Chain A
Amino acid sequence: MSQAEQKKLDLLITGVGGQGAILASDIIGKAAVTSGIPIRAAETHGMAQRGGSVVNHIRVGNDYGSMIPKKGADLLLALEPMEAVRYLDFLKDGGVVIVNTQPIIPVTVTSGLTKYPEVPDILEFLSEKYIVKAFNADELAYEAGSRLAMNVVMVGAVSGYLPIPKEIILESVKALVPQKTIEVNLRAFEAGRQKVEES
């Protein structure tokens, strides 16, 4: 494998509008540029983001388009359990799913139109074909100092898989989160990273 090949990684981040999927992908994107690795990303904006399902494509070491082909993603980082399942078509067989187990109940469920699947059922379903790393990232963020840092917990969780040195990702976290929240976010990052390293 050439050096360039080793630095190639296709990552899908899924979640709900408002969870900070864009910041999570920006942290990785900026870190890739600092490391001199080409990067492409695609985001959900506009009408699609008002509390709806969102998906970001991140292609580290890629010179082409920003869209990951079907069954092309090495990794899926799901900020919400049901949103892990919605975009599985993009994940390679045997790929890795890192999933936050804290559900966000959509209005279609609260209004009684449909049901939210049980989280253990979601995880079991995912485990059939993929390597699953599941934990409650909202709780880890809360322990780190703020629930709002959940997205950075998840960046920490995926960081070990990225072809980018940890220090550079941390620099990127510091540069992109609000100044006052740097300490909380660094703790959140470490908590997520540790969770996946332990598993």
Chain B
Amino acid sequence: MTMREYMLGNVAIARGLLEGGVQVVAGYPGTPSSEIIDTLAARKDPDYHIEWSVNEKVAMEVAVGAAWTGVRSVVTMKHVGLNVAADPFMTLAYAGTKGGLIAIVADDPSCHSSQNEQDTRRYAQFALVPCFDPSTPQEAKDMLPYAFEFSEKFEVPVIFRPTTRISHGKSDIELGEMPVEKTAPNFEKLLDRWVMLPKNARPRHTHLLSIQQSIEDALAESPWNSLELKPDAKFGVIGAGIASVYAKEALVELGLEVSYLKIGTYPVPRKLILELLETVDTVLVFEELEPIVEEQVKMIAQEAGLEVSVFGKTNGFVPREGELDVSAFLEALKKTFDLETEAETSSTALELAPRPPALCAGCSHRATFYSMKKVFGKDAIYPSDIGCYTLGIQNGTVETTLCMGSSISVASGLYHAGEKRPICCSIGDSTFFHSGMNSLLNAIVNKANITVTILDNRITAMTGHQPNPGVGYTATGEPTVQVSLEELCKAMGAEFVSVVDPYRLEETQEAFKAAKEFEGVAVVITRQPCVISGKRAGIRRAPYLVDPEKCEGCKQCVKFGCPAIEFNEKDKCAVITSLCSGCGVCAQICKFDAILEVKR
């Protein structure tokens, strides 16, 4: 009997890596990719090295070093992480690999938890490396051992690109065997491959180009592409990756007799596309994000001199932004056949209150932002960064967010442009270690006059509480050196470094005042563990309540924006709910001493 388990897509991907015999795993957390390493790090007695690296570039290079010894390695990240790791990756394509190397880069169509929706398949095209694009969590798991073998066969790194709905989808998964034998590492000194001097890079580029056709031919034969030709069908559908199952579901529901090509690898299987194009007169291409398959289909048709109408994103039949689904395919189908499309009817006649995500009850970021706003005021400029604290946009203290680490450098640019208003930026501890360090060093050396707030909640919170260099333990929980943020800042030349507890409003505001006065780069570290990981680590605080006798109904506490504070309109009195985590900040805000700690 085969084993079937109900699994998260990322857990299935972790399982696929084990079935493929992975020996070194590195990555940086990023939604929707994080649970792959979380899963592998939580396994007892792992027979592989696993780490959360400080950023994606570093993680990529760790995986490269490992693969150059001949063992199988993997690096995981979200789509924008590959921008950070693009430097090693683009040249790695030339150098190639010995052991299989898979870069798992998870895309996020619709920006569920991201700052853009770039398509990693473009990177594969750009770097001239093969890319695997799974359509279901099961296929994702099954592809990985194949991807390792493929990488070794052609001695090239490969990209494996799940999307949010694969990574955070769940499915029944049929498990395979896990190999027992491990490869012994042996770094061969192939200097003409590992030293990318111009004299070595030139022939390696030629080599990479020369194997493209063989790569394409091998992928066309792989199980991840399939062509179903229906006799006499003049209409064909091409679906890629996860979009292929949406198209398939719609076609089966409608009972349409059309030819169908499913694509799961890049470079695209030219042979299969040609075979389809030779039998039909119209093709609808359905893929998420960029029109990558579509462009190839058009080129192939033109080169072969085939008169086929190709519909997709380039001519407005399929949206180029956002994620797709069965309904989007039906819409595209109707447009293709010029059928009437239903007008968007909203079934909601009821006015609903928006429910955006918010910082947790007791989150120290809210307290930091409160003090920051008090001291710097409405006039100041607040560049920020990427993390839970980006939600501080609701507090009026997040006014720019570009990419990881950019808060400090954008703040410097604002200052050097001549902005006279005070500039106070914010960055989380993990984001600071990721790439904010470089920005701080740059700001100090180039004499910016800004305040840098490091929101030190002792964890990488938003992606699911992964450790960072400040916490003192590794991905597997093993104790390691605990890097001091304050010492690090001082070592980089910061002359003003103040560490405060953001739950203490007065102390925090004093620090911000001094930072504001300081000429140069002032660093304020607001340190208080994340309420979620703190609770898990056993931090317990008595909750607070409102004394209705003393409450004047001024709503100052309500305006603080904590989800645990509500307002009773009937009694004109604030109410603290069971969500209260006991941070005590609202009690300090209340001018009437109406908020009290619950005595046990």
Residues of A whose CB lies within 8 Å of any CB of B are 16-17, 25-26, 29-30, 32-33, 38-53, 64-67, 69-70, 72, 82-83, 85-86, 88-89, 105-112, 114-117, 121-122, 125, 129
Contacts and interface: CB of A to CB of B under 8 A. Distances in A.
Nearest to B344: A89
Contacts of A30: 6
B30 to A, nearest CB: 9
A146 to B, nearest CB: 12
21 contacts: A32-B6, A39-B171, A40-B136, A41-B169, A43-B169, A46-B32, A47-B462, A48-B113, A50-B357, A51-B358, A65-B136, A65-B246, A65-B249, A69-B330, A72-B326, A106-B354, A107-B358, A108-B353, A108-B356, A110-B558, A117-B351
B172 A32 contact: yes
B170 A66 contact: yes
A51 B579 CA distance: 11
A69 B113 contact: no
A65 B248 CA distance: 9
Interface residues of B, number: 56
A153 to B, nearest CB: 18
Contacts, number: 164
Contact of B353 (A43, A44, A115): A115
B352 A40 contact: no
Query: Which residue of A52, A69, A107, A111 has the most chain B CB atoms within 10 A of its CB atom?
Result: A107
B348 interface: yes
B588 interface: no
Contacts of B462: 46-47
Chain A interface mostly: mixed
Interface string B225-257: 000000000000000001001101110100000
Contacts of B353: 82, 106, 108-109, 114-117
A179 B307 CA distance: 65
B352 A85 contact: yes
B327 interface: yes
A53 to B, nearest CB: 4
B363 to A, nearest CB: 9
Nearest to A66: B169
B348 A70 contact: no
Query: Which residue of B113, B250, B390, B565 has the most chain A CB atoms within 10 A of its CB atom?
Result: B113
Given A65-B249, A85-B352, A112-B555, 16 more contacts: A17-B357, A38-B171, A41-B170, A45-B168, A45-B464, A46-B31, A47-B112, A47-B462, A48-B113, A50-B388, A51-B563, A64-B249, A65-B242, A65-B245, A83-B355, A117-B351
A44 to B, nearest CB: 8
Contact of A67 (B325, B349, B561): B325
A48 B165 contact: no
Contact of B565 (A69, A110, A122): A110
Interface of B: 4-6, 8, 31-32, 112-113, 136, 165, 168-172, 242, 245-246, 248-250, 252, 325-327, 330, 346-360, 388, 390-391, 394, 462-464, 555, 558-559, 561, 563, 565-567
Query: Which residue of A32, A33, A125 has the most chain B CB atoms within 10 A of its CB atom?
Result: A33
A51 B252 CA distance: 38
B165 A42 contact: yes
A1 B528 CA distance: 59
B359 to A, nearest CB: 7
Contacts of B250: 69
A116 to B, nearest CB: 5
Contacts of A86: 348, 352, 355
B227 to A, nearest CB: 19
A129 B349 CA distance: 12
B535 to A, nearest CB: 12
Contacts of B249: 64-65, 69
A138 to B, nearest CB: 11
A71 to B, nearest CB: 8
